[in-house]
Amino acid sequence: MRAGNGYSLRVQMEIGSTFGIMKKSVLFSFLCAAFALAACSDPSDQIRSEGDSQTLGVDAVDSGKLPVFAFEEESFDFGTIEEGVVATHDFTFTNTGEVPLVISAANGSCGCTVPEFPRTPIAPGATGVINVSFDSNKRAGKQEKTVTLTANTVPNVHVLKITAEVNPKS
């Protein structure tokens, strides 16, 4: 009987071990399926309203009404300037769309190019200004810089360009 009990115990341990592995496999499969379903859900379900600006952006896309940048010019050449000069230019635009235009960010392509932009919505038909400063210190030679605007337009990124020929200090 002793051999039978030992055998029986060994079979129970092997069966218990097999069921433990199966339980882990089933649990792992369930977690993978749950993750896949969550990842494949409709992204619009995850949009959260955080004030009027978020609601405005979603309403604009749903209704077909969009804000539109209409710049007087999208590039500007400072011409020839002396090294060390800080040159500035105003890029003027009009919102020719049907809803307010909101600029969320304006980034220069390097630290020498600094944009300033309106922090409040630009109403349809109204104008706004992007002021761009270019610091030519230690920038001798031909310079080509960009300012990237992010807004609630389609496409949501708009790029302005500035160029200059910087004469080195003597």
Domain stop point among 62, 80, 106: 62
DSSP 8-state class, residue 162: E
How many domains is the chain partitioned into structurally? 2
pLDDT given at position 88 = 98
pLDDT in the model for residue 170 = 79
Q: How high is the pLDDT of residue 46? A: 37
Same structural domain, 129 and 84: yes
Give the separation between CA 34 and CA 154, rounded to whole angstroms: 34
| 107 and 155 inside one domain | yes
CATH at residue 115: 2.60.40.10
Instruction: Read off the pLDDT of residues 78-129 as tens digits, 9 standing for 90 and up.
Output: 999 999 999 999 999 999 999 999 999 999 999 999 999 999 999 999 999 9
Q: Would you state the pLDDT for residue 119? A: 96
The answer to whether residues 166 and 83 touch, using CB atoms and an 8 Å cutoff, is yes
User: Are residues 98 and 157 located together in one domain of the fold?
Assistant: yes
Q: 50 and 81: one domain?
A: no
Q: What is the pLDDT of residue 60?
A: 45
Per-residue b or e along 56-76, where b marks 16 or more CB atoms closer than 10 Å to that residue's CB: bbeebeeeeeebbbeeeeeeb
| Same domain membership, residue 16 and residue 51 | yes
Q: With a cut of 60, say whether residue 13 has pLDDT above it.
A: no
- 88 lies in the same domain as 111: yes
- What is the pTM for the complete model shown? 0.63
Give pLDDT tens digits for 15-68: 555 555 656 666 566 555 554 444 444 433 433 444 444 444 444 444 468 999
Residues 113, 90 within the same domain: yes
- Rg of the chain (C-alpha set): 31
User: 10 with 53, same domain?
Assistant: yes
- The range of the structural domain enclosing residue 160 comes to 66-167
pLDDT at 42: 40
The secondary structure of residue 35, as a DSSP letter, is H
Last residue of one domain, picked from the residues 14, 35, 62 = 62
Q: Are residues 127 and 82 located together in one domain of the fold?
A: yes
Between 153 and 61, the more confident residue is 153
Same domain, 14 and 46: yes
Q: Give the full edge-to-edge strand order of the sheet including 157-167.
A: 75-82, 157-167, 141-151, 103-108
Is the same domain home to 122 and 160?
Answer: yes
Band of pLDDT at residue 152, cut at 50, 70 and 90: very high
- Within this chain, do residues 102 and 151 fall inside the same structural domain, yes or no? yes
